[in-house]
Structure 1
Amino acid sequence: MTGLPGLDLTRLREHLDRQAPDLVAGQLRADLLVGGRSNLTYAVTDGTSRWVLRRPPLGHVLATAHDMTREYRVLSALGPLGFPVPPTVLLCPDPAVLGAPFYLMGQVEGVIHRDPAELERLGPDRVRALVLALVTTLADLHAVPPAQVGLADFGRPEGYNDRQVRRWKRQLDASRSRDVPGIEQLHGRLAAAVPACGAGTIVHGDFRLDNVLVGPAGEIRAVLDWEMSTLGDPLSDLALMLIYAGRPMPVDGGLTRPALAVAGHPDPTEIAAHYARRSGRDTGGLRWYLAFAAFKLAVILEGVHYRYVQGQTVGPGFDGIGSQVAPLVRQAHETLDGAS
């Protein structure tokens, strides 16, 4: 049982038998969970219990971009509060086992809404309730006092926005395989007008509808993909969620219409207002954050495109990722110009 690319089940079983002898009852089987475009995620089972394993992508791993220890730490901190995250099981920081650090968490039952056509079948009322529940969950995350859950040193809120602009420029420079018109100028415009970060909160860093598991009653059962979480400016999470909602969604190797186009989905103004009511924060100055969120998503997708052209991605649906970068750059410029 050798497993999938990036997951040697024999070595995994040997490690689990050493570290958690009573965990695995039978032969391990695994499937790659399609949907993520960064860290690799696998469903693992022994025929009785089911887990999810997360590890960095194959090859070209940018420094700090795929930190399994940070993901595991924030999940372990939030779970006891009742915040919807998967239960943690085991962290392996030793790359000798699978070729990279990884962690194991419990599998949470639920649906991920990636396809707007499936989302539409919920009906306008349920779509609206689900999106507002998502916004409520984000505001509740930002209300968690980091020091009270052992995360006081999880990041440095002071200067967060400045560092984010520099960080994502470095990520861009480390993932270049082509010219992207306007992206250098966009970075310059963002760097020239960075807002100060107020009191920092736990930020997810990639918060969006298709990063949560939803239960049958429309409840948020688990927020997934915490690889970019830190302490920082909560408005960055809100802005990125809004950018994602307005972008075409990747489904089955192609692109569909945005979630915002689905009947019942609240518009950006209503989403920002709901967040403001729940969190008590002023959301009137989102323009810079929205432009930066578009830049950040463009850099993320450019990194995925880089790995695709290098042959370092696993699973279908990567060939169209690169085409999404230029529209995001244009959108960010238009946002700063006041056109959107």
Structure 2
Amino acid sequence: MSSDQLPGLDLDRLRDRLDQEVPGLVQGPLQGRHIEGGRSNLTYDITDGTSRWVVRRPPLGHVLATAHDMKREHRVIEALHPTTVPVPKPLLLCEDEEVVGAPFYVMEFVAGTPYRTAEELAPLGPERTRAAVFSLVDTLVDLHAVDPDAVGLGDFGRPDGFLDRQLRRWGKQLDASRNRDLAGIDELHAALGRALPVSPAPTVIHGDYRLDNVLLGEDDRIKAVLDWEMSTLGDPLTDLGLLVMYSVRLELPDSPISTTASAVGHPSPQELIERYAERSGRDVSAVSWYTAFAWFKLAVILEGIHYRYTLGQTVGSGFDRIGELVPVFIEHGLTTLQEG
């Protein structure tokens, strides 16, 4: 694909910058394609016919700098690459917006498979599915074991008051998307605030840790953790709570929200919690709060999508059914908090 067919990435300009900064890396004309997936930043698969790389840049058009900070994303994978946490090797950070129209970075291409649905996991069979999901937990334990100061990430976030800030932030997100009554959501938000746990020592957290944000190798082990745009220093149990939430089976036929939890062999939420606790040595007695918070966050995200859909700003299949899912997530959040 030529550069004029690749929105957001001029391959000729990219080649010139790579030749300047990493001479000898590129051996021939570049071709590329846009990779689907990821929360919002654009990802491209680039090749010179011999080697392959991945380029990340912010979305086209107006973006929030804090949400699409290429320097920050590059910084965390550069810091983690020498550790046991599997991340692609970063090769170049370019903050000069004249090159492709926005800051970007280049990293090595890692061969592996992302699994986004139970149907995609099915060919692995129960035993391999179980091993893959447990590998996800083990890699999360490795991430949370990294000493932020030792890898140069001691100032990567503001862990003091982290949970309180998160709760307020998502409450504001909810207020920005309100155009209908949602039974129970204010109750859930208030209950989370009343039961705020005391955070353990801060760690580097991923922020959106789940199976479809990693690449699995043929040995069912994780080859790379991707999509670090939500990462910061904070409470590690927020990552665990999100992972637990995504491991709950939602009996919703034809749901536009895909999860892998219904795959045969997928460990139960309790098995994931126990494995994390055993391997990390952390106290996970408050995990119900973190899981309920994850349900609340996803309810807010889905309501935002529904709100944009009602305004005609979101086009595509499945968006018309997002709104009916929000009460399901609210109910799960309330139930989880009460059971905890």
Query: Which range, TM-score by smaller chain?
Result: 0.7 to 0.9
- Residue 116 of structure 1 deviates from its aligned partner by 0.9
Gaps of 5+ in 1: none
2:231 maps to 229
Residues 10-36 of structure 1 deviation map (CA, whole Å, 9 limit, x = unaligned): 333343343334332222222121122
Question: Equivalents in 2 of 1:306, 1:90: separation in Å?
Answer: 38
Instruction: Tell me the secondary structure at the aligned position of residue 53 of structure 1.
Output: strand
Structure-1 separation of matches of 2:224 and 2:202: 23
Of stretches 122-131 and 300-309 in structure 1, the one that deviates more from structure 2 is 300-309
Equivalent pairs, count: 335
Q: Percentage identity across aligned positions?
A: 55
Is 1:189 aligned to residue 220 of structure 2?
no
Structure 2 counterparts to residues 88-167 of structure 1, below 5 A: 88-167=90-169
Could you tell me which residue of structure 2 aligns to residue 215 of structure 1? 217
Give the corresponding residue for 1:334: 335
Higher mean alpha-carbon deviation, 320-329 vs 214-223, is at: 320-329
Q: What SS does structure 2 have at the residue aligned with 1:89?
A: strand
* Partner residue, 1:263: 264
Corresponding position of 2:43: 41
Structure 2 stretches of 5 or more lacking a match? none
Question: What is the CA distance between 1:197 and its match in structure 2?
Answer: 1.5
* Aligned residue identity for 1:69: K
- Amino acid in the other structure paired with 1:123: G
Task: Report how far residue 166 of structure 1 moved.
Answer: 2.0
Give CA-to-partner distance per residue, 1:232-261, whole Å, 9 cap, x none.
111110010111223669xx99455x4222
**Structure-1 residue corresponding to 2:291:** 290
Residue type of the alignment partner of 1:166: R
Contact preservation (8 Å) 1:124, 1:265: yes
Contact 1:208–1:245, Cα closer than 8 Å, also in 2: no
Cα offset for 1:129?
1.2
Matching residue's letter, 1:274: R
* Superposed CA RMSD: 3.0
Q: CA distance change for structure 1 residues 293 and 254 in 2, over 3 Å: closer, same or farther? A: closer
Does the 8 Å CA contact 2:256/2:318 hold for their aligned counterparts?
Answer: no
Q: Secondary structure at the match of 1:91?
A: strand
Q: 1:212 to 1:147 in 2, by over 3 A?
A: same
Q: 1:96 to 1:145 in 2, by over 3 A?
A: same
Q: Aligned partners of 1:62 and 1:302: how far apart in 2?
A: 20
SS in 2 for 1:7: coil
Q: Deviations over 1:95-142 (max 9, x none)?
A: 333333221111100111112122122111111111111111111111
**Separation in 2 of the partners of 1:93 and 1:210?**
28
- In structure 2, give the amino acid aligned to 1:237: D
Tell me the residue number matched to 1:274.
275
Q: Which amino acid aligns with 1:337?
A: Q
CA distance in 2 between partners of 1:111 and 1:288 (Å):
32
Write the letter of the residue equivalent to 2:280.
Answer: S
